[in-house]
Each structure stands twice: as C-alpha cells, then as structure tokens.
C-alpha cells in the first residue's frame, strides 16, 4: 500500500490535504476501481444527477454534496484534523490522479 502520494497542488501544511491523503491511503488503498467509482459519484453531483453521495472505508467517511466533500474520521483517537471540507473539482482531480497512480503501480 502506498504510504505517500502527492498531487500537483498538494500542500503538506493544509489539513484538508492531510485528511484527503489519509482517505486515499487507508480507505481507497491501491484500488483504482474504487477511486474511479468515487470520482464517478463526484461527476454525478457536479452534473446535477444526484444531490449527495457517500463513501467510506476503514478510517474515513466522506459526504459528497454540491458545495464540497466533507471528510470525517471514524476511528476514535486517530485523527484530530477532521472534519475537513474540500471542493469537488479538486477532489475529483485527486481521485483521477490516484486511480492512474494505482494502475501504474499495478502495471509495473
């Protein structure tokens, strides 16, 4: 499992970016299909085809709405940074980059 992944606008001092990184590593893991599924949920919301979507896994729950995605850590005493909110366009771009990264790791 990937322990560090940075994207174009990644800011290691930004709490929302830290939480998103945790969501990728702990919940989506090395699964490009899961990343693509969540990106598809974001696209449905951005297109007005859905009012809200949810995704979750081992450590985080995320609520995806037209005004952004909110991450909440579901593990006690693990993350004092959440909840954090990120805009949909940034979230979708990071999910697509993560999916490509996972596919590249699988192909090599």
Measured distance CA(89)–CA(31) in Å, rounded: 21
| 39 in Cβ contact with 102 (< 8 Å) | no
Model pLDDT for residues 30-58, shown as the tens digit of each residue? 999 999 999 999 999 999 999 999 998 88
pLDDT per residue as tens digits for the range 5-38: 667 788 888 899 989 988 999 999 999 999 999 9
pTM of the model: 0.86
Query: Is the pLDDT assigned to residue 77 strictly greater than 80?
Result: no
């Amino acid at each position: 499992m990937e322990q560090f992944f940075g994207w174009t606008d990644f800011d290691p001092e930004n709490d929302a970016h830290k939480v998103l990184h945790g969501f990728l590593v702990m919940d989506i893991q090395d699964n490009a299909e899961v990343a693509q599924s969540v990106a598809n949920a974001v696209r449905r919301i951005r297109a007005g085809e859905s009012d809200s979507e949810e995704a979750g896994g081992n450590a985080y729950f995320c609520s995806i709405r037209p005004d952004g995605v909110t991450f909440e850590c579901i593990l006690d005493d693990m993350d004092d940074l959440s909840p954090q909110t990120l805009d949909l366009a940034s979230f979708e771009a990071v999910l697509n980059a993560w999916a490509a990264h996972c596919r590249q790791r699988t192909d090599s």
